[in-house]
Amino acid sequence: MKIIVNKQVPVQVIEVLNKYGEVLLFETTGITYPQVAGHPDLFFCAGDGKLVIAPNTPETYIENLRKSNVDFVLGKSLVGNRYPDTARFNAVITDKYLIHNLEITDPVMLETFDNLETVNIPQGYGRCSLLPLKNDCFITSDKGVEKVLKGKGCEVLFVDPSGIILPGFEHGFFGGTAGVTDNEVFFIGSLNRFNDGEKVKSFLQNRDYKIIELYDGPLFDGGSILFV
């Protein structure tokens, strides 16, 4: 299994993730603004057994996946310096839904996941702000996303993003601090250092998830942890 994670995460995070799969440390230069240049969820969208990659993703990563026989398709939109060009691939994919601000979604994404029901949310940074779990359960740090998903009958836990580290910003997004594979949720940081950490622990444990905290520090928005 490949694990794609921001190169700027603390070294302890990388050491722990290496026990679970082959870690790809992600970084870019000259494509988007420096604060999010290493965020995988701006360049990769994975889910439903498929992977879509921004066409201007650095060739080293595309070649690495190709050599590892990871199936993927290239999107049409280029990641850029400004919204919405920073968010074309930042969607959430579940076994049922494609969740994104559909006004900005890359067209190849819509073609690739055309078997899924589309859910339009007001937030372009869908994956950044939303952590998808099994059985139509979600955790989000965006009130607008919470409202839409609850309207679909989904179970949604809202958390206050205050205290999430994203250098250059007041705070980060909750979804960007984490990744999910099978019944394990990995966090870049410790829930003990997050104001709504106990709520998150309870929500996950009641749904039989194992929580893996990758270092003992505040939650860090690194642009998600992607398992492919």
The reported pLDDT for the residue numbered 172 is: 97
Domains recognised in the chain with CATH numbers: 2-227 (3.75.10.10)
Question: pTM of the predicted model, to two decimals?
Answer: 0.97
E strand segments, 27-159: 44-47, 50-53, 73-74, 92-93, 97-100, 117-120, 130-132, 137-140, 155-158
Q: What is the reported pLDDT for 34?
A: 95
- What are the structure tokens assigned to 192, written together? 């003990």
Which pLDDT score, from 0 to 100, does residue 114 have?
97
Measured distance CA(111)–CA(171) in Å, rounded:
33
For position 82, what pLDDT does the model report?
96
Give residue 178's pLDDT: 98
Give CB contacts under 8 A, 24+ apart, made by 151-160: 152/97, 152/119, 157/199, 157/200, 157/203, 159/194, 159/196, 159/199, 159/200, 160/195, 160/196
* Cβ within 8 Å of residue 104, ≥6 positions away: 84, 87, 88, 124
pLDDT of residue 151: 98
Contacts of 207 (CB under 8 A, 6+ apart): 133, 134, 135, 137
- Residue 129's pLDDT is what? 97
Note the pLDDT of residue 220.
98
10-residue stretch averages of pLDDT, the chain, 228 residues long? 97 98 98 97 95 98 97 98 98 98 98 98 98 97 98 98 96 98 97 98 98 98 97
pLDDT confidence of residue 141: 98
pLDDT of residue 73: 98
Taking the C-alpha atoms of residue 14 and residue 214, their distance in angstroms, rounded to an integer, is 8
Residue type at position 128: C
Helix (H, G, I), strand (E, B) or coil at 84: coil
Kindly state the tokens that stand for 46: 């994975």
What confidence score (pLDDT) does residue 103 get?
98
